[in-house]
Chains A and B, each alone.
Chain A
């Protein structure tokens, strides 16, 4: 699922391409609102669709990933990325405000994590740090 694909080509500045993976449309729309000025955004509703997008887009620079999703959850996707040596910066966006979830995500390869509900500055800063 691509948001405004034409925006990446021919524009004055090439935006970095990121993937937002969350099953909640409200969260996807919120992240789009925060990040669409700076990034070219792809969407996936679950882990399986995220893998398809990753395979289709080798120029992907980072992923914002929810943990609780149908089909393939965030932990499983992180493990998939680790298995396939994908050196992809992943920022976990989780509703579980627990140390365990954060620690587990970082252990299996996430660059950082944000808890919901988030502040827009936190999202921008955390993603920039992870990608740079």
Chain B
């Protein structure tokens, strides 16, 4: 019996903590919201299942049974909603119809047609007996959930690799959830099979969360570990909470000689006051002893992977650049046998092939420069040259997204002491961000100005802008406003600028655009 208490409480805790975690991670993402919705319903179901098992009186058991069924009838609709969001399907009507059908069972839950009664069965003090209409609910549940599984299987083949992994996880979680849940029902019909499947249901929210967060390695490795640790800590705190409430209630009852709701409420208020500091303390301890090492390791790995991504983009840009000299060399070689005796051709051949080979060599040199590991190498650096170089690398993307580049360069001195390779990294990240803010086209303005011993660079776009509440956080590691972002680009930018004893800040007006300003010392 105690095993059933424990697993239903564990399911409630994992659903609650993972649901909240996934939601807070990206509240704007519809998939995250869907998982939150489903997890909350499952959390209510499993928590009241726990209370149902723990009930001492008939009325307590009936009340918890009604509440848990009010939640459980929403599970199939929430599941369809989640599947539809995962697969990016516009199944608005199907989702609404599912919710409507499920809600139709709500008034029935409180009647004997749905639950005929409760009685002792096997090891359970109270266990429900199905009413005549309960079978309708089981059929509906199976049909709607089956439709969800059908959609997942149907769209599996044509999905991207990441989506396929997500679908596999969701199918696995669905299997655990539905098979586990199905074992509850035989005993409703007095078939003496215990609801043993309940013991594995707690795994379902964990696997679902992994599926939703699967696109991001960071989330997968840190977050799941973190969530498990938090779940355990919240469970401990909840247990402490319950024990204190019971003890306090008994103490007050012994002293004051009566038991009332007021006593429980007062106890709850006292606990609520110490709950938050206690939770924070546990978080800090866990953060210190467990997470930090993992976090630092992941941060290092991700900075490397971010660098690899940037390098891949650079390589793509340079590959295009290499096609021009290759074209010339190829054409002149093609004509060599035909025009070998033509002296003018031979002169052109020698000049062109030589020049174009030099160009390829210089392009490869630039690529190697970018991939070089990074200790700061301060030397005279022409900022305009670095900016033009970066703009040229990103020209394929500015063309693709119909973005105009406007340059307002200071005509005075534009050579400063800096690491030109690292500075190009900074410009690359900032201009790439601007391009991403301008997916529908627009302008990027690059301005420079020297002022006494400082050199300032402004990179402005007239894109979607950044909300004020987010503006203060954009340089934080792992803070990202993009669905697929690692949140490292701007933190790396800031660290490079700091290495140069410079400063970087951003101004933004939502809907109007963003300006990043870099201020660097002329000499370092």
Binding site for B on A (CB under 8 A): 24-27, 29-31, 33-34, 67-68, 73, 75, 95-96, 100-101, 116-120
Task: Give the most central of A29, A75, A96, A100: most B CB within 10 Å.
Answer: A29
Question: B325's closest neighbor in chain A, by CB?
Answer: A26
For A34, list chain B residues within 8 Å (CB).
Answer: 331, 335
For B324, list chain A residues within 8 Å (CB).
Answer: 24, 26-27, 95, 116
A120 touches B331 (CB 8 A): yes
- How far is B334's CA from A80's CA once the two chains are assembled, in angstroms? 35
* Contact flags B345-370 to A (C-beta < 8 A → 1, else 0): 10010001001100100000000000
Task: Give the most central of A33, A73, A119: most B CB within 10 Å.
Answer: A33
The residues in B between 302 and 347 inclusive whose CB is less than 8 angstroms from any CB of A are: 320-321, 323-332, 334-335, 345
For A95, list chain B residues within 8 Å (CB).
Answer: 320-321, 323-324, 327
For B395, list chain A residues within 8 Å (CB).
Answer: 68
Binding site for A on B (CB under 8 A): 320-321, 323-332, 334-335, 345, 348, 352, 355-356, 359, 395-396, 399-400, 402
A96 → B minimal CB distance (Å) = 6
For B329, list chain A residues within 8 Å (CB).
Answer: 26
For B334, list chain A residues within 8 Å (CB).
Answer: 119-120
Task: Give the most central of B321, B331, B395: most A CB within 10 Å.
Answer: B331
A98 → B minimal CB distance (Å) = 8
Question: B396's closest neighbor in chain A, by CB?
Answer: A96
A117/B396 contact (C-beta < 8 A), A27-B324, A95-B323 known: no
A114 → B minimal CB distance (Å) = 10
Question: A23's closest neighbor in chain B, by CB?
Answer: B324
Q: How many A-B residue pairs have CB under 8 A?
A: 67
For A73, list chain B residues within 8 Å (CB).
Answer: 399
A30/B328 contact (C-beta < 8 A), A96-B320, A117-B323, A120-B334 known: yes
A76 → B minimal CB distance (Å) = 9
B330 touches A117 (CB 8 A): yes
B323 touches A29 (CB 8 A): no
B327 touches A29 (CB 8 A): no
A26/B356 contact (C-beta < 8 A), A95-B324, A96-B320 known: yes
Question: Given A26-B324, A29-B332, A33-B332, 5 other A-B contacts at CB below 8 A?
Answer: A27-B324, A33-B348, A95-B321, A119-B334, A120-B335
A15 → B minimal CB distance (Å) = 19
- How far is B396's CA from A75's CA once the two chains are assembled, in angstroms? 12
For B320, list chain A residues within 8 Å (CB).
Answer: 68, 95-96
Chain A, interface SS category: helix
For A116, list chain B residues within 8 Å (CB).
Answer: 323-324, 326-327
B352 touches A26 (CB 8 A): yes
A-B contact pairs, 27 of them (CB 8 A): A24-B328, A26-B324, A26-B325, A26-B327, A26-B328, A26-B352, A26-B355, A27-B327, A29-B328, A29-B348, A30-B330, A31-B331, A33-B345, A33-B348, A34-B331, A67-B399, A68-B399, A73-B399, A75-B399, A95-B321, A95-B327, A96-B320, A116-B326, A117-B323, A117-B326, A119-B334, A120-B335
B162 → A minimal CB distance (Å) = 22
For B402, list chain A residues within 8 Å (CB).
Answer: 75
- How far is B322's CA from A116's CA once the two chains are assembled, in angstroms? 10
B203 → A minimal CB distance (Å) = 44
A29 touches B326 (CB 8 A): no
- How far is B328's CA from A34's CA once the two chains are assembled, in angstroms? 11
A33/B335 contact (C-beta < 8 A), A26-B327, A95-B324 known: yes
Question: B402's closest neighbor in chain A, by CB?
Answer: A75
B178 → A minimal CB distance (Å) = 43
For B399, list chain A residues within 8 Å (CB).
Answer: 67-68, 73, 75
B177 → A minimal CB distance (Å) = 42
For A24, list chain B residues within 8 Å (CB).
Answer: 324-325, 328
For A118, list chain B residues within 8 Å (CB).
Answer: 327, 331
A11 → B minimal CB distance (Å) = 18
For A30, list chain B residues within 8 Å (CB).
Answer: 327-328, 330-332, 352
Question: A117's closest neighbor in chain B, by CB?
Answer: B327
- How far is B322's CA from A24's CA once the two chains are assembled, in angstroms? 11
B330 → A minimal CB distance (Å) = 5
- How far is B391's CA from A68's CA once the two chains are assembled, in angstroms? 12
Question: A118's closest neighbor in chain B, by CB?
Answer: B327
Question: Which 4 pairs show the lowest CB-CB distances between chains A and B?
Answer: A26-B328, A30-B331, A117-B327, A95-B323
A81 → B minimal CB distance (Å) = 17
- How far is B330's CA from A120's CA once the two chains are assembled, in angstroms? 10
